Structure 1
Amino acid sequence: MSGPTQIYRQLFSFLRQHSHYRDLRHLIALGWMVSALICSERLSLSAWESYVPCRARKAQSVERRWQRFIANQRIDINKLYVPLVLLALKNWQSHRLYLAMDTTVLWNEYCMIHLSVVCCGRAVPLLWKVLEHKSAAVAFEEYQPLLRQARWLLRQHPDVMVLADRGFANHQLMSWLQQSHWHYCLRVPCDVLLHGPRQCPREVRQLWPSKGEALLYRNVGLWEDGIYRCNLVLANIRGVKEPWAVITDESPTLQTLWQYALRFRVEELFLDSKSGVFELEESKIRCADALERLYLVAAVALLFSTTQGMAVHIKGLRQQVDPHWRRGISYLKIGLRWLKGVVHKGRELLMPVPLLCHDPQPCFASKKAQKKHYNKIWFSRIRSLQCKAL
């Protein structure tokens, strides 16, 4: 049996066992598309012909098969993908789940909203939505359905924290988070009005601490009305261009900065999806609905390869594909290299494992990178202040 066929059969088995589908042909097509993507590492319909056995004699016939899939409105992305990622998170009920929310723009024409799970130095897609929108800033009404769906899907997870950048901090999101009883760690813009740190409301930019210092505020009011009360961490970190202003519902500590920094894992996900691994930006698809279905192929490949990489690490086989003495590449790339070895070297195809709750070996390309990571944030002075309620 050839390598691509082995990968396809395992993928098809998982899809058929856990996904909810309307037509078995949808699973067959999806399995071959994911297998071809893993082998080619190109999210391009025309690049998959050589990795899929079929009776068609013309490459155009094979490409049309994939075109019919991504144009098929009967395909329910959530019913196909969500059961797979929930299965991968089955061991996380007793651990905190960090959800990173962010947007990325494709070709200055489409905006993709991502809601991802932070796991072992990377982010794994949970839900996504594509809009015909030229800006990365989107209204609350556009991503509220994703949050509501995530709340229902993760109802068995009692400890969830949402991480988001400045573009998401608004009244509607704060109200929704309070009603949902989810924790949050959000960065706010420098022009947000704060009630409490001074006698009169002040903008965040007027309260920045000196370089290398941090201020911890409790019970701060936000915006002009000051209705929403939260805790605030202001940090002016050495080596960082802009100071950070991070709000949270939990006690303000330096841990708040570490939690917010987990949001940057989704940037690695964007890099892997768009140019680093799967080259989404080379896709010729120019339709929001079709892009959502095309990204389904990438999401399944990302999840499958990541869990395969974790299985390789647990089996003690990492050094066969990772030249570093300690882990120096992501589980995604470990999994992809192992799967390519299945195709070209006859390696054993391992059973994927659930996503690991704790990283047994954090990824650093060198000892210098490891030292820089742990010594990156130092403060010469830290002050904690209690603000009076209005």
Structure 2
Amino acid sequence: MRTSTHLYGQLFNQLSQHSRVRDLRHLKALAWMVSALLYSGELNLAAWEPYVLSRAQKAQSTERRWQRFMDNNRIRVMAIYLPLVLAALSGWKQQRLYLALDTTVLWDRFCMIHLSVVCCGRAVPLLWRVLEHGSATVAFEEYQPVLRRARWLLRHHQDVMLLADRGFANHELMKWLRRSHWHYCLRLPCDVLIHTTRRYPLKVGTLYPPLGEARLYQNVGLWLDGEHRCNLVLATVQGAKESWAVVTDEPASLQTLWQYALRFQVEELFLDSKSGAFELQDSRLRSATALERLYLVAAIALLFATSQGMAVQLAGFRQQVDPHWRRGISYLKIGLRWLQGVIHKGRTLLPCVALLPNDPQPCFASLKAKHHYYDHIWFERVRSIVCKPCHTLN
């Protein structure tokens, strides 16, 4: 238990240094839960008992301790987590911040709205909200509070870009982004009407280019009124299931596709949370507020393990846990493997480092995967079209 206590001590020191709570006992319980999650790999309250030092003699007593934490309305999730993640992003002031907005559904009953920071091939949780809602599609009013809080938190960051899928492209979000002075890359559904060089608006789906071609539209009008002007990239990529239609406030280019593709890193985050690392699907909680507090444990563990993985990389110890010649697994997996070695092999628990704004060694599992990444998007033909504003018919 010495290594487990050591990890608990480091987590507690970090939490007490940054987080704001009404009762210090909340941080102690949280530090034990995060430590137990990192070692057990399960977001299940009953699975944490072997990794926690306590005076309790029965496993049921320990589980009730965690249950009281999940049901405690005095615990403010974001007051605990946000200072931690903002401290981890302290070196990003001069870097563009890519935020991925997405949703995931749990047990066809709960929908988690997730806003993440894209970082070194993965996404790190920033803000989240859980709704009792059985669909992944949510109204703007439901995720607007998440965006408003992010805007306030990142007010000192001058360059922020929002990445989102087709379910978020609507009038309200576009107006909000314009007022907030955020850049964006949003994918459009195929039935959205756009105003191009023609007299009448057309559906996006009718303009998809042939396989291996891309079209860059500058200054198109969106929806029937055509009042919102932006730039559009249409592309049909070899190997992709569907053609892409991505709008941005920046000049349309092939770089727009690369920026939008960063959004897929949040899918890896969902995979790590649900089955790849922490088994969120095995949780027995069926309350939206309790799930928000449970995900607080997961978010801190993700942030801490990613930071530990970056510390391992910077210290030159990566090859002790990564069998690839060059980095072939994520910093999260490197950190988790290193922490497992701390408890089982006596490795040193490294001090936490801030999240790296630039990846010192991109992750590729093989040379084939590397070539596939760099050679995946090739176009035989690229057209650029400038659209002039025109008056729509009443």
Identify the TM-score tier after normalising by the shorter chain: over 0.9
Deviation at 1:198, TM superposition (A): 2.1
| CA offset digits 1:220-246 (Å, max 9, x no partner) | 000011111000000011111100000
Is 2:64 the partner of 1:54? no
Secondary structure in 1 matching 2:112: strand
Matches within 5 A, 1:175-190: 175-190=175-190
Q: Which runs of 5+ in 1 are unaligned?
A: none
Deviation at 1:199, TM superposition (A): 2.1
Q: Which residue of 1 aligns with 2:373?
A: 373
Deviation at 1:340, TM superposition (A): 1.1
Contact 1:329 1:363 in 2 (8 A): yes
Q: Which residue of 2 aligns with 1:29?
A: 29
Q: Which residue of 2 aligns with 1:262?
A: 262
Give me the whole-angstrom Cα distance separating, in 2, the residues matched to 1:217 and 1:131: 37
Give me the whole-angstrom Cα distance separating, in 2, the residues matched to 1:37 and 1:182: 36
Q: Which residue of 2 aligns with 1:4?
A: 4
| CA offset digits 1:302-355 (Å, max 9, x no partner) | 000000000000000000011111001000010011111111111111011100
Please identify, of 170-179 and 346-355, the stretch whose mean Cα deviation from structure 2 is larger: 346-355
Give me the whole-angstrom Cα distance separating, in 2, the residues matched to 1:349 and 1:205: 53
AA aligned to 1:41 is: G
Give me the whole-angstrom Cα distance separating, in 2, the residues matched to 1:88 and 1:75: 22
Q: Which residue of 2 aligns with 1:67?
A: 67
Q: Which residue of 2 aligns with 1:338?
A: 338
Give me the whole-angstrom Cα distance separating, in 1, the residues matched to 2:208 and 2:96: 30
Give me the whole-angstrom Cα distance separating, in 2, the residues matched to 1:197 and 1:173: 25
Secondary structure in 2 matching 1:115: strand
Give me the whole-angstrom Cα distance separating, in 1, the residues matched to 2:228 and 2:350: 50
| CA offset digits 1:157-176 (Å, max 9, x no partner) | 00000000000000000000
Give me the whole-angstrom Cα distance separating, in 1, the residues matched to 2:319 and 2:198: 56
Give me the whole-angstrom Cα distance separating, in 1, the residues matched to 2:241 and 2:64: 48
AA aligned to 1:42 is: E
Deviation at 1:130, TM superposition (A): 0.3
| CA offset digits 1:249-281 (Å, max 9, x no partner) | 000000000000000000000000011100000
Contact 1:197 1:217 in 2 (8 A): no
Q: Which residue of 2 aligns with 1:329?
A: 329
Q: Which residue of 1 aligns with 2:135?
A: 135
Give me the whole-angstrom Cα distance separating, in 2, the residues matched to 1:145 and 1:187: 22
Aligned-residue RMSD, C-alpha:
0.6
Give me the whole-angstrom Cα distance separating, in 1, the residues matched to 2:319 and 2:236: 40
Contact 1:321 1:337 in 2 (8 A): yes
Q: Which residue of 2 aligns with 1:271?
A: 271
Give me the whole-angstrom Cα distance separating, in 1, the residues matched to 2:371 and 2:211: 21
Deviation at 1:197, TM superposition (A): 3.5
Give me the whole-angstrom Cα distance separating, in 1, the residues matched to 2:240 and 2:207: 17
Give me the whole-angstrom Cα distance separating, in 2, the residues matched to 1:232 and 1:372: 26
Secondary structure in 1 matching 2:90: coil
Contact 1:101 1:114 in 2 (8 A): yes
Q: Which residue of 1 aligns with 2:297?
A: 297
Give the number of aligned pairs: 390
Q: Which residue of 1 aligns with 2:249?
A: 249
Q: Which residue of 2 aligns with 1:168?
A: 168
Contact 1:208 1:234 in 2 (8 A): yes
Secondary structure in 2 matching 1:351: coil
Secondary structure in 2 matching 1:102: strand
| CA offset digits 1:91-130 (Å, max 9, x no partner) | 0000000000000000011000000000000000000000
| CA offset digits 1:143-185 (Å, max 9, x no partner) | 0000000000001100000000000000000000000000000
Q: Which residue of 2 aligns with 1:385?
A: 385
Give me the whole-angstrom Cα distance separating, in 2, the residues matched to 1:126 and 1:240: 29
| CA offset digits 1:344-380 (Å, max 9, x no partner) | 1111110111000110111111111111111100000
Percent identity, aligned pairs only, is 70
Q: Which residue of 1 aligns with 2:201?
A: 201
Secondary structure in 2 matching 1:184: strand
Contact 1:213 1:380 in 2 (8 A): yes
Give me the whole-angstrom Cα distance separating, in 1, the residues matched to 2:350 and 2:276: 24
Deviation at 1:88, TM superposition (A): 0.4
Is 2:115 the partner of 1:115? yes
Secondary structure in 2 matching 1:91: helix
Secondary structure in 2 matching 1:60: helix
Q: Which residue of 2 aligns with 1:357?
A: 357
Give me the whole-angstrom Cα distance separating, in 2, the residues matched to 1:22 and 1:114: 26
Q: Which runs of 5+ in 2 are unaligned?
A: none
AA aligned to 2:63 is: E
Give me the whole-angstrom Cα distance separating, in 2, the residues matched to 1:196 and 1:325: 49
Deviation at 1:188, TM superposition (A): 0.4
| CA offset digits 1:174-232 (Å, max 9, x no partner) | 00000000000000000000012422110001111111000000110000111110000
Deviation at 1:295, TM superposition (A): 0.2
Give me the whole-angstrom Cα distance separating, in 1, the residues matched to 2:273 and 2:208: 36
Q: Which residue of 1 aligns with 2:78?
A: 78
Q: Which residue of 1 aligns with 2:105?
A: 105
Deviation at 1:17, TM superposition (A): 0.6
